[in-house]
Amino acid sequence: MIKKIIVVLITLFISVSSFAQKNNTSAYSFFGIGDKNSMNTVEQLSMGGIGVALNDVYHLNFSNPASVASLSFTTYTLAIENKNITAQDANSKQSAASTYLSYLAFGVPIGEKGGFTFGLLPNSSVGYSLVTNELDGDDVITEATLYSGEGGTNKVFMNFGYKPFKGFSVGLQTNYIFGKIENSIINQIADNPLATKYETVSNVKGYSANIGFLYKTSLNSKVDLNLGASFDLSNTIDADGNEYLYAVDINTFESPKDTILNGNSVGKIKSPLKTSLGVGVGKDNKWFAGVDYSFQKALELSGNTFSSYSKIAYDDYSKIAIGGFYTPKFNSISSYWERVTYRAGLKFEKTGLLVDALGSEADFTAIDDFGISFGVGLPLSQQLSNINFGFEFGKRGSTSKGLVQEDYFNFRLSLSLNDKWFKKLEIF
């Protein structure tokens, strides 16, 4: 039965993925290759995003490639996310929402000491539409500029984990990143029938890899100690495409009139080594509480694809996540609700993005992110599979110095389905 469900879900995923998804409505997705997607499952995001020190025999863990060595069952997982953002500056407030498939992956144990994972998820997303107006002394609009963009990048990943000895596992993950991003700037002066439009269309691709380590030991009969580390190795993402500059008539659906520029555009984003450390305590299938800390040096952007970003700069990145789960009685027969898993957590994130909204080229402000999350995992019948619901409230940015503050609410839904491959033949 589970296999039939998976066939349907995969077919649905492929069908939907063949169309472009608008999976972002944030003004901050304007920069670079867009908003970076969190490399976490719904279960992890419901606990603030922890997972570096978490090894689960029934669920996949995207934070540490070493965790797949702990899998006991073939595990399929698919998730949907709904983002709701209310953005406001000093003068106005707007709301927007988007829904999209956030990942598809499966993992399979290899013997008693290894495991393999393969999956696809959004790596970054672009989706914004911003308008700025110039006013004269009588508050009459003399010039208007529209900034808009869409697209993003996806990530295909393969991961192998292995336990060289009891309690310790290592893992290696390789990633291929690809996608397409379209950005445009339309500027029109009052009483002029034509506007000018600058547009870039970029194809993005690159490779990356990360390695991880996990160690688990018992402190006593009721408490285990987990230690984990994950390292995203330095990599470079290339953007190659075209840039255009031409006159358009807004009243005729932006029909190009006179092409001023038609050339190639190239760009690079270099990501330094990112280190994630985690520590947690708990008991298998009962409870877990952990803390993750991640840090990374500033991103480096180069090339004419990203040369128009004069109002931004990058600083060092860091994130602290705190969270955990509790299951009253994992194998309860008498009560369904005792088998439900309850999760909660919070995060403090310095995104590394600095914005000079006023254009002084000297007053850059850090864009920080704070979120609170919680969720539940509901068992499916008497199986080990479950459906997971996650909720997150948070705030990013502020309204000071001409910036935009985003208050967000994210709803997430995932299926984690377990099956047993390579069953031994039993004779009765």
Full domain range(s) for residue 273: 2-419
**Distance from chain centroid for Cα 132:** 29
Residue in 396, 394, 409, 323 with CA at minimum distance from that of residue 46: 323
pLDDT at 22 exceeding the cut of 50: yes
Predicted pLDDT of residue 421: 55
Which CATH number do you get for residue 261? Answer: 2.40.160.60
Spatial separation of the C-alpha atoms in residues 342 and 349, rounded to whole Å: 24
pLDDT at 100 exceeding the cut of 50: yes
Q: What is the pLDDT of residues 268-288, one digit of tens each?
A: 999 999 999 999 999 998 999
User: Would you say the C-alpha torsion 28, 33, 39, 40 has a positive or negative sign?
Assistant: positive
Q: Comparing 57-71, 139-153, 241-255, which segment has the lowest mean pLDDT?
A: 241-255
More confident residue, 146 or 427: 146
Averaged pLDDT, 157-175? 96
Q: Mean pLDDT score of the chain, rounded to an integer?
A: 86
Percent of the chain surpassing pLDDT 70: 88
Indicate whether 227 belongs to any domain: yes
Q: Which two tokens stand for residue 49?
A: 């995003």
Predicted pLDDT of residue 94: 83
Global pTM value: 0.88
Indicate whether 427 belongs to any domain: no
| Cβ 280 vs Cβ 293: under 8 Å | no
Averaged pLDDT, 244-256? 73
Q: What is the DSSP string of 350-375?
A: EEEEEE-TT--SS--EEEEEEEEEEE
pLDDT band at 427 (very low <50, low <70, confident <90, very high): very low
Indicate whether 125 belongs to any domain: yes
Spatial separation of the C-alpha atoms in residues 226 and 273, rounded to whole Å: 23
pLDDT at 13 exceeding the cut of 60: no
Q: What is the pLDDT of residues 129-162, one digit of tens each?
A: 777 777 777 777 788 888 888 888 999 999 999 9
Q: What is the DSSP letter of 385?
A: -
Q: What is the pLDDT of residues 184-214, one digit of tens each?
A: 888 888 878 788 888 888 899 999 999 999 9
Angle at CA 351, nearest 5°, toward 345 and 352?
A: 150
More confident residue, 51 or 403: 51
Query: How many structural domains comprise the chain?
Result: 1
Indicate whether 276 belongs to any domain: yes
Predicted pLDDT of residue 15: 41
User: Would you say the C-alpha torsion 291, 328, 389, 409 has a positive or negative sign?
Assistant: negative
Indicate whether 265 belongs to any domain: yes
pLDDT at 425 exceeding the cut of 50: no
The values of phi and psi at residue 153, to 5°, are -125, 155
User: Would you say the C-alpha torsion 403, 407, 413, 414 has a positive or negative sign?
Assistant: positive
Indicate whether 424 belongs to any domain: no
Spatial separation of the C-alpha atoms in residues 188 and 195, rounded to whole Å: 4
Predicted pLDDT of residue 39: 84
Averaged pLDDT, 96-119? 91
Q: Give the 3-state DSSP-derived string for 197-232, with helices as H, strands as E and coil as C.
A: EEEEEEEEEEEEEEEEEEEEEECCCCCEEEEEEEEE
Predicted pLDDT of residue 8: 41
Averaged pLDDT, 166-174? 96
pLDDT band at 338 (very low <50, low <70, confident <90, very high): very high
- The amino acid sitting at 301 is L
Indicate whether 426 belongs to any domain: no
Indicate whether 375 belongs to any domain: yes
Spatial separation of the C-alpha atoms in residues 265 and 243, rounded to whole Å: 6
Residue 206 exposure: Cα atoms within 13 Å on the Cβ side: 21
